Chains A and B, each alone.
Chain A
Amino acid sequence: MTPVAIMVGANRIVPAAGIIHPLGNAELSAEDEKTLRRQIVGKALQALQTEVVQPTVFGSDEWTTTKPGGEQAGT
């Protein structure tokens, strides 16, 4: 949902671990899940300390501008 966050104008965006468990992952052990949560929250804290001028996604190397799947979006 990152593109929506961008479109709506959120300036500091951290991609989370999924819609049904943004700050966790039921497939991981409790220990690993907490580590994941610390990582994401840590990234959020980093973002809060970073200067931005427009909606910026933190922690992602890819700019998701095209719609998922489909020849049309990708061409």
Chain B
Amino acid sequence: MQTLRVVCYLNQFFGQLGGEDKAGVGPQVMPGAVGAARAVQQALGEAGTVVATVLCGDNYVAEHPDTAVAELLQLVAAQHPDLVVAGPAFLAGRYGVACGALCAGVQTQLTVPAVTGMHAENPGVELYRRQVYIVPTGAEATRMLDEVRRLVSLGLKLARREPLGSPTDEGYFPRGLTHNTLVDDNAAQRATAMLLAKLAGQQIVSEVPLPDFPQIPAPPPIKELRHTTIALVTDGGFVPQGNPDRIEALAATRYGAYNIQGQQQLDPGQYDNVHRGYDTTYVKQDPHRLLPVDVAREFEQQGTIGKLHETVYSTTGVATTLAHSARMGREIAAQLRAAGVDAVILTST
């Protein structure tokens, strides 16, 4: 069997350039297997050679979303690889997203097989599992050699264009694609067996994966609106001019808290919008189309509501991962609760 040319992708840390202080370094390439890529070479054995290791700082990729991957693809392409192995990224969010983006680009633009690995909660999984084969790993590099072995094993199959089995058999995150298959028993027989198992309290495997959204018990209704403090929140990308909190335009991991104390309304000149998921012309013209401060003030002054909370919260709700959304929601809720807020009106685009 022909020895495959493999290119590895690593971030600044796993490429041994440095820690967070080096997170801003730009794309670069080193010959052979550098840093954690040596584990990939070890796992490859005779089957392949890591001809180069491409490196980039995680912040560079995150802050140059349009150009970083293109630059990296050029470096990768120059090596004429048969396979690209990125990461593993474990739980490092920006690294995982970078690995996913690079692998997706390698597949579509260079038509070269690619594989990466990361922890289930890495936002890179949610963003890229549908396009890229991602191997599940632990949260940290403690069992890296083992995990790299699994990564390489799947990579070799892809490079050799061998047919892949199911996600459970081969060990990758389900890509969320459905495919009709003929099975032995008809649906009625399978349903009867499943119901009997459910009645017996046994574990069942649903043939349709359940949505990831657990039921949220509804908080009891407000009894006295005129004594209630209401806060305004939005995921429409509302930010003060200059976006001081650097809320991301896509896949946000940050939110902002902005003071509106004493303000009767929002002055469009002081605010901006970073959301990439819709045409923000109208909400920039008039931010009340997202955060109804003017109307809420009226309700406050009329005595309909007790108080309009002095802080508004905002983030960007486009390609925001479930994980980050839930975390930000929890954090905002905790702050609101601590400030005595009773209810929230959340405007979503």
Question: When A52-B218, A54-B215 are in contact, do A20 and B279 touch as well, CB less than 8 Å?
Answer: yes
Question: When A19-B349, A22-B349, A37-B295 are in contact, do A9 and B216 touch as well, CB less than 8 Å?
Answer: yes
Interface string of B207-231 (1 = CB under 8 A from A): 0000101111011111101001010
Residue of A nearest to B325 (CB): A8
* Secondary structure call for the B interface: loop
The answer on a CB contact under 8 Å between B290 and A22 is: yes
B343 at the interface (CB under 8 A from A): yes
Of the residues B291, B298, B349, contact of A20 by C-beta under 8 Å: B349
- Count of inter-chain pairs, beta carbons less than 8 A: 89
Interface size on A, residues (CB 8 A): 30
What are the residues of chain B within 8 A of A20 when measuring CB–CB? 278-283, 349
The answer on a CB contact under 8 Å between B213 and A9 is: yes
Q: Contact residue range for chain B? A: 35 or more
The answer on a CB contact under 8 Å between B236 and A22 is: yes
The answer on a CB contact under 8 Å between A5 and B348 is: yes
Report the Cα distance A44→B301, complex, angstroms: 18
The answer on a CB contact under 8 Å between B349 and A38 is: no
B285 at the interface (CB under 8 A from A): yes
Question: When A23-B288, A23-B292 are in contact, do A48 and B225 touch as well, CB less than 8 Å?
Answer: yes
Residue of B nearest to A39 (CB): B295
The answer on a CB contact under 8 Å between A7 and B213 is: yes
Give the residues from 1 to 41 in chain A that come closer than 8 angstroms, CB to CB, to chain B.
1, 5, 7-12, 16, 19-24, 26, 34, 37-38, 40-41
The answer on a CB contact under 8 Å between B221 and A50 is: yes
A65 at the interface (CB under 8 A from B): no
What are the residues of chain A within 8 A of B223 when measuring CB–CB? 49
Of the candidates A5, A9, A21, A49, the one having the most CB atoms from chain B within 10 angstroms of its own CB is A21
Report the Cα distance A72→B292, complex, angstroms: 39
The answer on a CB contact under 8 Å between B218 and A12 is: yes
Report the Cα distance A16→B349, complex, angstroms: 9
The answer on a CB contact under 8 Å between A19 and B278 is: yes
What are the residues of chain A within 8 A of B286 when measuring CB–CB? 24
Of the residues A1, A11, A34, A45, contact of B225 by C-beta under 8 Å: A45
Question: When A1-B348, A20-B281 are in contact, do A48 and B295 touch as well, CB less than 8 Å?
Answer: no
- A47, chain B: closest CB distance, angstroms: 8
What are the residues of chain B within 8 A of A11 when measuring CB–CB? 216, 218-219
What are the residues of chain B within 8 A of A12 when measuring CB–CB? 218
**Nearest 4 interchain pairs by C-beta:** A24-B289, A11-B218, A21-B289, A21-B282
Binding site for B on A (CB under 8 A): 1, 5, 7-12, 16, 19-24, 26, 34, 37-38, 40-41, 44-45, 48-54
Q: List, sorted by A's number, 5 A–B pairs whose CB atoms are closer than 8 Å.
A: A22-B349, A23-B295, A37-B289, A40-B292, A54-B215
Binding site for A on B (CB under 8 A): 211, 213-216, 218-223, 225, 228, 230, 236, 278-283, 285-286, 288-292, 294-296, 298-299, 304-305, 343, 345, 347-349
